[in-house]
Structure 1
Amino acid sequence: MVLVEDLRRSFGSGPQAVHALRGVSFSAARGELTALKGRSGSGKTTLLNLVGGLDTPTGGRVELEGTDLASLDEDGRLALRRDRIGFVFQSFGLIPVLTAAENVGVPMRLRKLPAKQREERAHALLALVGLAGHAGQRPGELSGGQQQRVAIARALANEPALIIADEPTGQLDSETGRSVMELLRAVVRSEGVTALVATHDPALMELADRVVELRDGRTTEQAAE
């Protein structure tokens, strides 16, 4: 489903160039949660940006559902991000003035889905993440864990093939973070999507199907326990 081959990304040129990725290769199957671990500066966010079509590599390739991202122009990458990829951020990324249901509906609004269809799916997704009774609340009225659940529901809005999550539990306490990761794993399996999750928390890696470690821009892969 996701194929990364000899992926490289450098910033700058000459002796001052920074080589963030130095030949990263791995694959992730449908319905699988892959954890990316590594110290700060190891290249996790750079890798997620490349897989998500937010950046272009210096070398190597990324395929999503058989499509080489390098073959897409900017409009093609935009459509890919809108229709096939859901993003979950450490800071939740919710719009404060919108309700939980309205936040979940934003990606569907970008696809110009009818209002009734948006509303029905938003409520169904909030029920999926355990927030059926919170559809009318705004982010400021929700706990951090609840906000991240809304963010996961929003990531699923357009039935993506891939969910990309960059330190999704970084602003949560350990117990809440684990419950969010357990939810994400359950959603991945029930919805049949692939998830790439950057995290540095060993407890959360236990919930992954596989772990890919980044060190100095290179990867080593290990089976999750």
Structure 2
Amino acid sequence: MTQDQAATAAGSATSPAEAGTTATEPMVTVTDLRRSFGTGERTVHALRGISFTVGRGELTALKGRSGSGKTTLLNLVGGLDSPTGGSIAIDGTELGGLNEDGRLALRRERIGFVFQSFGLIPMLTAAENVGVPMRLRKVDSAEREERTHALLALVGLADHANQRPGELSGGQQQRVAIARALANEPGLIIADEPTGQLDSETGRSIMELLRAVVRSEGVTVLVATHDPTLMGLADRVIELRDGRVIEEQAEQAA
């Protein structure tokens, strides 16, 4: 995980979806998205004309082997990178029309991030890690403490508020990371292999938590995973291969 990703995870601030929107309106719209690296004969085409939408309040899983384009796609949707071609709209905002400051504002105002390596600040407690995005927004301390407590309870860690990351298991650390991503009420959470460092049982519990968050908080989640056993927990699965969408299917959540 890069320092930029860690800073993004800690500083992602978000705003609720506009009043009056419906579940049928897309949170994410991707159209003919392309991303290439390098030039000439050494050009690598990571994404080759991808198009899809993600509805509000939907848990969508990106499936595919390493090198299929999942992380590249998430970085583009999250505004961490810019495409070679095509377009992305988040909650009605076209990313292509934004400069770097605009993309930073988008990440802080509408998107929460969860990374495979957790990205917690080691010297801070679980509660303090969750509170970082709210501190950056200068949220009143009483409100910040109340929301931190509520979020730790939501992820099942109310009794671990004063423990530091090194005193928590991998699954508990990822739960803290999810609570932090929710700190400023995001419309969209982007999760890149959030179970990649966890055993299968713990990984399933994290995916179940993400599904519960979608249901209880009305958040849209776009998650990349290579684990086929977790696909049944998603509302929809989009499979990538060699930078292309090869299959989309609705899943019956277990």
Tell me the TM-score normalised to structure 1 length: 0.98
CA distance in 1, matches of 2:82, 2:98: 11
CA distance in 1, matches of 2:194, 2:152: 18
Are 1:38 and 2:77 counterparts? Answer: no
What CA RMSD, in Å, does the superposition of the two structures yield over aligned residues?
0.8
Match of 2:171 in 1: 145
Identity %: 82
State the number of aligned residues: 225
Q: Is the 1:99–1:139 contact (alpha carbons within 8 Å) kept by the matching residues of 2?
A: yes
> Which contiguous aligned blocks of 4+ residues in structure 1 show a shift greater than 6 angstroms?
none
Residue 198 of structure 1 aligns with an amino acid whose one-letter code is A
Superposition map of 1:1-225 within 5 A: 1-219=27-245, 220-225=247-252
Q: Is the 1:11–1:18 contact (alpha carbons within 8 Å) kept by the matching residues of 2?
A: yes
CA distance in 2, matches of 1:217, 1:47: 9
Q: Deviations over 1:40-67 (max 9, x none)?
A: 0111000000000000000001101110
Q: Is the 1:83–1:159 contact (alpha carbons within 8 Å) kept by the matching residues of 2?
A: no
CA distance in 2, matches of 1:196, 1:177: 16
Following superposition, the deviation at residue 132 of structure 1 comes to 0.7
Residue 204 of structure 2 aligns with an amino acid whose one-letter code is R
Tell me the SS of whatever aligns to 1:212: strand
Gapped runs of 5+ residues in structure 1? none
Gapped runs of 5+ residues in structure 2? 1-26
Following superposition, the deviation at residue 115 of structure 1 comes to 2.0
CA distance in 2, matches of 1:211, 1:69: 24
Match of 2:7 in 1: none
CA distance in 2, matches of 1:115, 1:78: 24
CA distance in 2, matches of 1:84, 1:21: 24
CA distance in 1, matches of 2:83, 2:222: 18
